[in-house]
Structure 1
Amino acid sequence: MNDFLMNNILWFKAFHVIFMVAWFAGIFYLPRLFVNHAETQSDKVAQQLKGMEKRLLYFITPFAVFTVVLGLLLIYTYGNDWFIAAKWLHIKVTLVILLLFYHGYCFKLVKVFQQDNNTRSGKFYRIFNEIPVFILFIVIILAYVKPVFS
């Protein structure tokens, strides 16, 4: 089994990145829908945004799951000694966990909008939209540069 994993590690990495890109595309767009929803005065537009928000969130959630599963598979393939030594990866995993909480919070926000209970401004959602941008920058630098920490 381990030979199979090592022989296919580049495929796992490729699909890990593909699913991550798809996940981030959605996680970048969803808060923009929240901005529009928070700022609209039109009931018709609000109803349309409710559908878009819910469909998008449910569409991107499997991408998040596949990203995490493939990441865990990569860690398993490289082994425990590598994981312990790769301090950059500990930071990356922590950021991914934070992003999963962010993703989960988006479910709450979709529900808030579905029930017409939003009390936050478009400005709040514009700032909220920046969180995954910063996480992405740091995760990409960690994954490709692999800085050494003492």
Structure 2
Amino acid sequence: MLWVKAFHIVFVASWFAGLFYLPRIYVNLAMVPPGSVAERERLLLMARKLLRFTTLLAVPAVGLGLWLWFGWFWGAKGWLHAKLVLVLATIGYHWMCARMFTRMQDGQTLRSHVWYRWFNELPVLLLTVVVILVVVKPF
């Protein structure tokens, strides 16, 4: 189980690295002046590659997390259930990032760069609370 836990942590850290940076690209996309086609296309390419890579990292992170969950489920305390809710929120955040990318690729930047800056802070909060739940196990 320690190997599973170790690889789970590696994949979660990598997944979150992508979730930390992808909305930063969205900030830059929202700031691209009209007519800067090359800059916009370069940022879209970066976002596409990062989204694909981040999604590939999320799959083993979630899969290994499920493996760990099934090992602890019957003796689980409330902290694990709270963590699962936050994992679902993280998956939802990832899905939102993918939807935003699709819209931006279609030429729809629906939000301001300030909105994307605030949106970029959500995974930091999610990861902080998850780590506290896992390490401290407050309930």
- What range is the shorter-chain TM-score in? over 0.9
Deviations 1:69-114 (A, max 9, x none): 1111011123x3212xx10011110011011011011111111111
Residue equivalent to 1:88 = 79
Q: Given the alignment of the two structures, is residue 61 of structure 1 paired with residue 61 of structure 2, yes or no? A: no
Contiguous gaps of at least 5 residues in structure 1? 1-8
Q: What SS does structure 2 have at the residue aligned with 1:40?
A: coil
Q: CA deviation at 1:144?
A: 0.8
TM-score (norm 2): 0.95
Match of residue 6 from structure 1? none
Matched, 1:108 2:99: yes
Shift of 1:43: 1.8
Structure 2: runs of 5 or more not aligned:
none
Structure 1's consecutive aligned runs of 4 or more residues displaced over 4 angstroms after TM superposition are none
1:28 to 20, 32, 35: 20
User: What amino acid sits opposite 2:94 in the alignment?
Assistant: H
Deviation for aligned residue 1:44: 1.2
Structure 1 length-normalised TM: 0.88
Aligned-partner Cα distance in 1 for 2:137–2:56: 27
Per-residue displacement from partner, 1:25-44 (whole Å, max 9, x unpaired)?
00000000000000011221
Among all aligned residue pairs of Structure 1 and Structure 2, give the percentage whose two residues are the same amino acid: 43
> Which protein shows a greater Rg?
1
Q: In structure 2, how many angstroms separate the alpha carbons of the residues matched to 1:117 and 1:62?
A: 25
Structure 2: which amino acid aligns with 1:96?
V
With a CA cutoff of 8 Å and minimum separation of 6, indicate the structure with the bigger relative contact order.
Answer: 2
